[in-house]
Amino acid sequence: MLIGVGLGPGDPKLLTLKAVEILKNSAKVYVPGRLAKELVAPYAEAELLKFPMTRDSEVLNTLWKENADRLVEESKKGDVAFGLIGDPNFFSTFSHLKRVMRQFYPDVEFATVPGISSITSFAARTDVAVETSFEVSDGSEIGHKVHLKARHPKKILEKMEAEGYKDFIFAERLFSEKEVIIKEKDKIPEEGNYFSIIYAKK
């Protein structure tokens, strides 16, 4: 299995217990850069995977494929961790690797250990309180929306559809024994628990 492990924003004390456990127990640990390597160092000797800072999609696709080729056999045999700054699913090289791996090697399994993202870390260091809806952008077109407190998921979904969103995921009580994840639009309920989220994609 290939496991994306969030390492947090850079403070060695902001790794989760689960991240540490996975790093210690994986057969192999990879990282995309120096800071990630340093954060992993107390728990495992990580190897650097090449992820150059370029927007040239041809160069990037070739490299992501080379990285996928390199990891495929190890990921089928045992647990391979890929440690990343912040959270592995937010603006991260793990998403690229996962996409290419799924395209060429669909039988490789994946998991993610969430990390403390820069998106929330900045508030801790800057004395900012985010109390109304906000937008996170890297300059590209807005294509995703996360709606928290989704007590009336169906109503929210209908509003999002009118805004041009097409794919929806309803998630309730994540990481608990009562976790519910619904990916089929028609099965998303009228009522949700307070600990519910609707994710939408254009």
Residues of the shown chain interacting with ligand SAM in the complex, contacts defined by CB under 6 A:
9-10, 84-87, 90-92, 117-119, 121
Count CB neighbours of 95 within 10 A. 15
Q: Which residue is nearest to ligand SAM (CB)?
A: 86
Residues 6+ apart with CB under 8 A from 49: 30, 31, 32, 67, 70, 82, 93, 97
- Alpha carbons 130 and 41: distance in angstroms, whole number: 33
Shortest distance (Å) from residue 120 CB to ligand SAM: 9
CA dihedral (74, 101, 2, 90) in degrees, to 10, reads 150
Q: Nearer Cβ to ligand SAM, position 83 or 192?
A: 83
Shortest distance (Å) from residue 87 CB to ligand SAM: 4
Shortest distance (Å) from residue 153 CB to ligand SAM: 25
Residue 51, phi then psi, degrees to nearest 5: -135, 85
Shortest distance (Å) from residue 189 CB to ligand SAM: 30
Q: Nearer Cβ to ligand SAM, position 91 or 105?
A: 91
Altogether, the residues listed in the chain come to a count of 202
Shortest distance (Å) from residue 93 CB to ligand SAM: 7
Which alpha helices (H) appear in 78-192, and where do they start and end?
93-104, 118-126, 153-162
Q: Nearer Cβ to ligand SAM, position 57 or 187?
A: 57
Q: Nearer Cβ to ligand SAM, position 140 or 190?
A: 140
- Alpha carbons 193 and 134: distance in angstroms, whole number: 22
Q: Nearer Cβ to ligand SAM, position 72 or 197?
A: 197
Side chain identity at residue 123, one-letter code: A
